[in-house]
Amino acid sequence: MRAYGWNKGQIVDAEADVLRELAERVADGEPIKKVAADLNERGIPTVSGRPWSSRTISRSVTSPRAVGLRERNGELTSDPDVDPILDVALWERVRDRINDADRKRFTPQRRRQSPLLADVLRCASCGRPMYLTGVNYMCGAGACPKPLTIRQAIAETEASERVLVRITSGPWLDALRPVAEQGAAHWRAVVEDTHQRMVRLAEEFGSGGPQEAFDAGMVAARRTLADAERHLATLAAVDGLPALTEESVVEWWVDTAAEDDRRAVIRSVVDTIVVNESAAPRGDRLVFNWRVGTDVRRS
């Protein structure tokens, strides 16, 4: 079968335009799946007549042929029979982008630093945190009257689904937009200022200031600090989002988000998840304590 863009070595103009558009969109970081869906929606045919897939697009835009080269014994040489369609700089950007994406996808999870639901799950019997041991999250508290256990896969799947609903329901995005507009630098400055404020409070108290003012000041400062740090973690996590829209959030959550990113987002919407006994009715096994301001608009 012929390569998309050329027919017997001659450039097919309409296809060359599509190829350039694809290369630019991919190089600019648009998810390939989304680009494929868009082409299919616009009714643009492939050479085989089958719908566009991520695979077909990657192959077309990274092929040496796109810049008039061919690969022989692992070396690229110019191919006198093929006119280039893409310019080399764009083609290199595309190849970098796709290699990065593949590397992310196929590298086994870099030593999982902490499990997806670390610090979030609570044992219903004793209220203490649960830890991942083998394939289960377990209550490890020695004093627990009835330590609970839940399968990692069950807990993580349900939490992922519930959190996805939460973060695509409107309020979360509405709350995130101003945070994102202010930018990470702003929140880093807040962290810095708050640390200084805490030092000042301690100094004032140390030189005879009233206990109440110190306590109240510290409570407020700690809250500000925790919020700013959570905003920073969320902003870092959603850095790969093309736009703060429901559609891109879904695609990002399902396809491209790294586990670290998802963990940070879970933290941003969930305070704790209480794990009940396995005898609890389906749906009551996990009780989500959502953070304020992340309510589902209409459920």
The contact set with Zn ion (CB under 5 A) reads 123, 125-126, 139, 141, 144, 147
Which pair of structure tokens corresponds to residue 165? 């609903």
Inter-residue contact 171 to 293 (CB < 8 Å): yes
Half-sphere exposure of 74 (CA within 13 A, CB side): 0
Q: How far is the CB of 142 from Zn ion (least distance, A)?
A: 10
6 or 137, CB closer to Zn ion? 137
Q: Return the SS3 of 137.
A: strand
- Cβ proximity to Zn ion: between 125 and 168 the closer is 125
Give the shortest CB-26-to-Zn ion separation in angstroms: 49
Q: Give the nearer residue to Zn ion in terms of CB position, either 126 or 202.
A: 126
Dig out the tokens for 131 from the structure.
């830890």
1 or 143, CB closer to Zn ion?
Answer: 143
Q: Which of 165, 164, 147, 162 is nearest to 288 (CA)?
A: 162
Of 239 and 277, which CB lies nearer to Zn ion in the complex structure? 277
Positions of E strands within the chain: 6-7, 10-11, 69-72, 75-78, 121-123, 130-133, 136-139, 149-151, 270-275, 286-290
Instruction: Report the nearest approach of Zn ion to the CB of residue 141 (Å).
Output: 5
Q: Which is nearer to Zn ion, 149 or 182 (CB)?
A: 149
Instruction: State the nearest-atom distance from the C-beta of 286 to Zn ion, in Å.
Output: 15
Q: ∠ CA(25), CA(62), CA(40), 5° rounding? A: 50
* 3-state SS, residue 243: coil
Q: What is the DSSP letter of 206?
A: H
